[in-house]
């Protein structure tokens, strides 16, 4: 059986309180007493029971992070950043993935899987505002990512419309005129909506026409989806001279198809992705991408949760995280510069 404070107290011949004082580094304990208790602790191999402590304190020191999918390197890298940011505040992270499915996202937002938590950071894909409006769970919730909700929750994201415009502007500046967008999603809810909007706005502001034939939807957000979408566009006979993809895996999947068909990147088709995952730095053609400041996003998300937890948070706010466009070979070509820049 596990040893408790009581056992240590008995062993040391003191009260429970004294042991607790030692364990918690309470100031007013005589060195002699501290020594004596510590010895009992060591002999018995006592470890405090955190569950009991949590019950008593009304908090667990755990925050949950629910992401669409860990297989996507962007989310994996983000998860790592959140774990580190939480550790700075002595919090640990419970990880869940939703598959980007609404049903699963609702369950998570309601605390179905993890109710042992002090707070929740959720990156929704299909979740609707109404789902959140019905939320009864009362642990602090912070939203991450692209969707916009007009709801009283903190929301941390890059300005997707502006970032998308930056990406498309880059392509236009390079002289491209037929810019496809890959990664819109089927169905009513459009998580890619804002990036698509940025694509559209920038094309219009450049005096170019917006052609729906150059928008390709995908089922998911992986390499295979990008490959399938690119294939579909090419099979309609369209020959865009540039592609702006919803994210890097989709962009890389698309580049693979271009390569299979003998089209050169960027000479024939320039490609820009989104998320700046490491994978994009090392392909045969390195990938130009919009790079969100993941560390800042993670840090702000954790801090938002903790602020709300301590009650000293301002009203719910939307926070924009930094981003920058990193141009690499998929738009500049290999000769132009060092290919593997960060």
Partner DNA sequence: ATGAAAGCGCTAACAA
Partner DNA sequence: TTGTTAGCGCTTTCAT
Report DSSP state, residue 181: E
Q: Interface with its own copies includes 219 (CB under 8 A)?
A: no
Q: Is 6 exposed, middle or buried (0-12, 13-18, 19+ CB in 10 A)?
A: exposed
Q: Which does 207 bind (CB under 5 to 8 A by kind): DNA, its own copies, none?
A: none
Which residues within the stretch 95-114 sit at the binding site for its own copies (CB under 8 A)?
Answer: 95-97, 111, 113-114
Which one of 4, 10, 38, 48 is in contact with its own copies (CB under 8 A)?
48
Q: Interface with DNA includes 209 (CB under 7 A)?
A: no
Q: Interface with its own copies includes 60 (CB under 8 A)?
A: yes
Task: Give me the 35-54 binding string for DNA, x by CB under 7 A, dash otherwise.
Answer: -----------x-xx--xx-
Which one of 158, 161, 164, 227 is in contact with its own copies (CB under 8 A)?
227
In this structure, the number of other CB atoms found within 10 A of the CB of residue 281 comes to 16
Question: Looking at beta carbons only, is 72 or 160 nearer to its own copies?
Answer: 72
Partners of 119 in the β-ladder? 63
Alpha-carbon separation of residue 277 from 73, 74, 181, 207, 249 (angstroms): 6, 6, 19, 32, 9
Alpha-carbon separation of residue 7 from 14, 18, 43, 53, 178 (angstroms): 10, 12, 11, 17, 75
List of residues 6+ apart from 20 with CB closer than 8 A: 5, 26
Nearest to 330 by CA among 241, 261, 262, 205: 241
E-strand spans in the chain? 62-67, 92-97, 119-122, 141-144, 154-158, 179-185, 215-218, 242-245, 270-274, 288-292, 318-321, 323-326
Task: Give me the 142-181 binding string for its own copies, x by CB under 8 A, dash otherwise.
Answer: ----------------------------------------
Question: Looking at beta carbons only, is 4 or 189 nearer to its own copies?
Answer: 4
Contact residues for its own copies, defined by CB under 8 A: 2, 45, 47-52, 54-55, 60-62, 69-71, 73, 76-77, 79-80, 83, 87, 92-97, 111, 113-116, 136-138, 222-224, 227, 249, 252-253, 255-256, 259-260, 278-279, 281-285, 339-340
Contact residues for DNA, defined by CB under 7 A: 1-2, 4-6, 14-18, 20-21, 23-24, 27-30, 32-33, 46, 48-49, 52-53, 55-58
């Amino acid at each position: 059986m596990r040893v408790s404070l009581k056992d240590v107290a008995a062993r040391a011949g003191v009260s429970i309180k004294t042991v607790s004082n030692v364990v918690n580094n309470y100031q007013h304990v005589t060195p002699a007493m501290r020594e004596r208790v510590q010895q009992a602790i060591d002999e018995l191999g006592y470890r405090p029971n955190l569950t009991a402590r949590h019950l008593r304190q009304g908090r667990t020191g755990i925050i949950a992070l629910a992401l669409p999918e860990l297989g996507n390197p962007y989310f994996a890298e983000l998860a790592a950043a959140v774990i580190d940011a939480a550790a700075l505040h002595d919090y640990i992270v419970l990880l869940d993935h939703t598959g980007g499915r609404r049903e699963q996202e609702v369950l998570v937002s309601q605390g179905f899987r993890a109710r042992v938590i002090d707070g929740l950071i959720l990156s929704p894909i299909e979740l609707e505002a109404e789902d959140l409006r019905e939320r009864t769970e009362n642990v602090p919730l912070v939203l991450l990512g692209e969707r916009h909700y007009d709801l009283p929750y903190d929301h941390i994201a890059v300005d997707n419309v502006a970032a998308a415009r930056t990406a498309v502007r880059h392509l236009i500046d390079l002289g491209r005129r037929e810019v496809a967008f890959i990664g819109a999603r089927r169905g009513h809810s459009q998580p890619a909506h804002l990036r698509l909007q940025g694509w559209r706005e920038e094309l219009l502001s450049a005096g170019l026409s917006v052609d729906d034939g150059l928008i390709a939807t995908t089922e998911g957000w992986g390499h295979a989806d990008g490959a399938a979408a690119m294939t579909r566009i090419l099979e309609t006979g369209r020959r865009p001279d540039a592609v702006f993809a919803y994210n890097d895996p989709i962009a890389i999947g698309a580049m693979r198809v271009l390569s299979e068909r003998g089209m050169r990147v960027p000479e024939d088709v320039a490609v820009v992705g989104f998320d700046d995952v490491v994978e994009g730095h090392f392909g045969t053609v390195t990938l130009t991408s919009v790079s969100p400041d993941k560390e800042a996003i993670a840090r702000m998300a954790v801090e938002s949760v903790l602020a709300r937890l301590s009650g000293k948070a301002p009203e719910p706010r939307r926070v924009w995280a930094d981003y920058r466009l990193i141009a690499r070979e998929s738009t500049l070509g290999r000769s132009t510069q060092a290919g593997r820049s960060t």
